[in-house]
Structure 1
Amino acid sequence: MKRNIFFIGILLLIIPITSLLTSCNSCSDRRAHDISSLPGLYEGEATIILPDHVKAMLKPDAEGKTLVPEGPIPCKISITADTSKNVKLNLVDFTMPVKGITVNPALGKVTETDSTFNLEGDGKVSVGQQTISYTHKGKITKDQLNLDITVSIIPMIVEPKIVFTGKKK
């Protein structure tokens, strides 16, 4: 008898707890409802941030130029949206410092917090026959785009970061 009451008590605790946890599962999904203001051309500059051990490996060429430019690089990012409220980010009017590198458009999802749109997604960089993955996280507030990009060349060892800041034109 005591055993039956014990198991019934446990069931009475488990059922409300599981229903409570599953009902709040969709609370974290804050997909943006209206992203019509996001598409457009964002003009700004990108800064490449390399860890010190990676900088030490990059030697200048015979003319004294390094593979990775120092300081901010002017560039533009075009954002387009699809019908399922996802965005595509594309680098526009930018010449890579090394021939043969192509940055493919990045796909991302958009969430909304107050008046800020949060972007998160990933993309690929083609270097000849190889493909390197990258992830991006960013925010758009009042036509200002701030984007952090992490390129995973060798995960956790060689991961250069690119920080883009730009304004919608």
Structure 2
Amino acid sequence: MRQRWVSIALLAAGLFAINVIARLVIRIGFNDNETAQNRVSIVMFAVIGVVLAIITFVRAQRVPPSSWLPELGAAAIGGMLLTILVGPFVSGDGPFSGGAGNFFSQVWLYGGFAIVGTLLGYWIATMLGRDYRSKSLAAFARAKTSKPRRVVRR
């Protein structure tokens, strides 16, 4: 049980680290250019989606979704909360300094990219036949075809 929370916390911290790096890039390099700030933010959300897709692809091959999906969801929510509530302090702002619209747009963007990334990773694993269920079904089919046919004596 403890190991499960450690992996969730590490993933949430990793997702938050992506946000901190993006905020530092914006603060150092593009402090006055709002278009560049928006682009860096979109790239940050895309990187978060790609990271979640890769983790989902790897985890989907080893264990069933009932095991990895709650962990991934908890880590994504934890990373989102850190990103939205703590992240603005890295930029020298507050969480609600941009207004409620900015706050909720970050929630929707983060959630959307996280969900799409997770689905993409799972769909790719399923499409390639590398997910847990496909591997289980392939092993079952091999076991059924490899056994010799039983001869019934009368």
The structure richer in strand per residue is 1
Q: Same fold (TM over 0.5)?
A: no
TM-score (norm 2): 0.23
- Structure scoring higher RCO (CA < 8 A, sep ≥ 6) equals 2
Output the TM-score relative to the length of structure 1.
Answer: 0.22
Higher helix share: 2
